Structures are given as C-alpha cells and as structure tokens.
C-alpha cells in the first residue's frame, strides 16, 4: 500500500515525465513545422554561407567552391534539376566548365545542405570570377530559391601579361658604313660607266697571251673508200672468224666426201 509520504515523492516525477512527453509530441511545431528539409517549412530557401565568401580576394587557384544552404538541396528527387542551377564565369563573361558535387543525403544526412562546385581547370591568377545560382534551385520541401544569387571573388596573384618586344638599347657602338670608291680627281662629279670599269680592270691586269688557234686537219676527198675506223674493226672480227670457221667446216666436209 502506498503511503502519503511516497505519494508526495512520486508526484514531481510524474509531472516531469508529462512535460517531457509534451515536448516530444510538439517538437516539430517548436522547430518551425519541419518537413525533413532541415530548415522549417515556413522558412524560404536561401544561401547560408559560401567559401570563398562573396567579395573575397586572394582566393586559391584550385577552383573549389563550397556552398551551404538552409535546407536540403541534394535529395535524390532534386539532384538533376539542381545540378543545372550553377554557372561560373570571369567578370569579362568567359565561361568556366565546372562540376557540381553532391553527396547522398540518405548515407550522409549531415551533408544535405552542402553543395561543392569544382572547376574543371585551374583558375587564372588575379582574375575576378562570378558564381551564379539560378532562381530555379529547389529544396526538398518544394520551395525554390526564387531569385538569382551571386558569389563574387578574385583569385590570388597578378594577372599574367603577354611578353612584349623589349625596347632598343643604345649600346654606344657606331656602325661603320662601307667605304665608297674614291672619285677620279681629274673628273669630278663624273659617273663611271660599266665600260670604263671594264677598261680599267683590263689595264690593271697583265696582258694575257694570244689564244692559239687550233687548226683542224683538212681531209682531202678522194674516190677511194675511207679507211675503217679502229672502233669498226672490233665489230668485223667476230663475223670474219665465223666466216672462216664455216669455210673450214665446208672444206673438211668436202674432203671426206671425195675420199669416199
């Protein structure tokens, strides 16, 4: 049987348990009518933070940008749509190819608000870049960003300039001009013609011996046949030898026939 003293000690315990039960029952309402997106159904979707931050300078050239939103933006039902909502370009409008990286919110629920942007190529030093987030970006609860969000930053280093031709340096050297031929003192302001130059060269050189005319031997035409050239003899000897051999064979055949 429970005594009065025991009842007095148990009443506070029951009150505490009842309060805890109420807290667990009304936790979604206290959290802002949560729907699993992690930010409350009545809270609009927005960018909570970024690295690099908007307006930051001296950003590394790795081209990695980390974004944190206030709701779940990587759910499987949103991935294809949200991957198309990011673009990176220079301040002059040159587009930079990027990769949008999202984790699996079922395996890594702590990453449900995070999206990473990775440039496919190193960024240029000392260059201003703009990351644009489309208004079509959606959260798991169905809300959209509703307006374009931009993140502006400048990379570290100085802008590389093209190499220009170095200016000419005065070394103090004087270029020598080729010497001009001395003019004939007896004929000032006269122009030397090519014929005069040839005559002067001929007088300067020693006289060459007169050319010896080679007389060709005259061939007296006669009625006799011309002698056979030495080269033709080499062509006649084989035929003569063949003829002599035929005559010898004919003589041998003739003698044998008469001997019978």
Task: Say if residues 67 and 115 touch (Cβ distance below 8 Å).
Answer: yes
Q: How many CB atoms lie within 10 A of CB 152?
A: 15
Domain boundaries, the chain: 47-155
Q: Three-state secondary structure along the chain? A: CCCHHHHHHHHHHHHHHHHHHHHHHCHHHHCCCCCCCCCCCCCCCCEEEEECCCCEEEECCCCEEEEEECCCCCCCCCHHHHHCCEEEEECCCCEECEEEECCCCCCCHHHCCEEEEEECCCCCCCCEEEEEECCCCECCCCCECCCCEEEEEEECCCCCCCCCCCCCCCCCCCCCCCCCCCCCCCCCCCCCCHHHHHHHHHHHCCCCCCCCCCCCCCCCCCCCCCCCCHHHHHHHHHHHHHHHHHHHHHHHHHHHHHHC
The pLDDT tens digits for 188-199 are 554 444 454 555
pLDDT beyond 70 at 67: yes
100: buried, middle or exposed (CB in 10 Å: 19+, 13-18, 0-12)?
A: middle
Q: What was the pLDDT predicted at 153? A: 98
Q: What was the pLDDT predicted at 144? A: 95
Q: Which residue has the higher pLDDT, 124 or 176?
A: 124
pLDDT beyond 70 at 215: no
Q: What was the pLDDT predicted at 190? A: 47
pLDDT beyond 60 at 166: no
Most confident of 11-15, 21-25, 113-117, 236-240: 113-117
Q: Which residue has the tokens 């014929």?
A: 195
Residues paired with residue 65 on neighbouring β-strands, in sequence order: 117
Task: Say if residues 154 and 125 touch (Cβ distance below 8 Å).
Answer: no
Q: What was the pLDDT predicted at 239? A: 75
> pTM for the full model?
0.51
- Per-residue pLDDT band at 211 (split at 50, 70, 90): very low
What contacts 174, CB < 8 A, 6 or more positions away?
none
Rounded CA separation 119/125 (Å): 14
Rounded CA separation 206/77 (Å): 108
Most confident of 30-34, 211-215, 229-233: 229-233
- Per-residue pLDDT band at 258 (split at 50, 70, 90): confident
pLDDT beyond 70 at 66: yes
Rounded CA separation 56/48 (Å): 16
Token couple for 99:
């990769």
193 to 119, 184, 205: CA distances (angstroms): 76, 13, 19
Q: What was the pLDDT predicted at 253? A: 78
Token couple for 237:
């000897």
- Per-residue pLDDT band at 210 (split at 50, 70, 90): very low
Question: Using alpha carbons only, what angle is made at residue 116 by residues 112 and 119, rounded to the nearest 5 degrees?
Answer: 165
Task: State CA 153 to chain mean position distance.
Answer: 26
Q: What was the pLDDT predicted at 212? A: 42
pLDDT beyond 90 at 89: yes
Q: What was the pLDDT predicted at 88? A: 98
**Does the domain formed by 47-155 have CATH 2.60.40.1220?**
yes
Q: What was the pLDDT predicted at 58? A: 95
């Amino acid at each position: 049987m429970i005594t009065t003293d025991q009842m007095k000690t148990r009443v506070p315990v029951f009150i505490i348990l009842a309060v805890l039960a109420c807290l667990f029952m009304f936790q979604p309402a206290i959290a802002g009518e949560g729907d699993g997106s992690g930010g409350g159904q009545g809270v609009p979707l927005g960018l909570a933070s970024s690295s690099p931050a908007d307006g930051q300078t001296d950003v590394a050239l790795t081209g990695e940008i980390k974004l944190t939103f206030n709701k779940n933006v990587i759910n499987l039902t949103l991935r294809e749509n949200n991957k198309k909502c990011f673009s990176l370009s220079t301040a002059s409008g040159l587009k930079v190819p990027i990769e949008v990286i999202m984790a699996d919110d079922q395996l890594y629920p702590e990453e449900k608000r995070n999206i990473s942007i990775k440039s496919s190529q190193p960024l240029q030093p000392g260059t201003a870049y703009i990351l644009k987030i489309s208004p079509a970006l959606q959260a798991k609860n169905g809300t959209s960003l509703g307006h374009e969000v931009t993140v502006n930053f400048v990379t570290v280093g100085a802008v590389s300039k093209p190499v220009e031709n170095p200016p000419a340096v005065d070394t103090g050297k004087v270029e020598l001009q080729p010497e001009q031929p001395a003019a004939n003192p007896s004929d000032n302001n006269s122009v030397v013609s090519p014929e005069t130059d040839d005559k002067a060269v001929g007088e300067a050189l020693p006289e060459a011996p007169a050319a010896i005319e080679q007389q060709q031997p005259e061939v007296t035409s006669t009625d006799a046949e011309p002698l056979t050239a030495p080269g033709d003899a080499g062509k006649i000897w084989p035929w003569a030898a063949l003829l002599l051999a035929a005559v010898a064979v004919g003589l041998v055949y003739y003698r044998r026939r008469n001997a019978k």
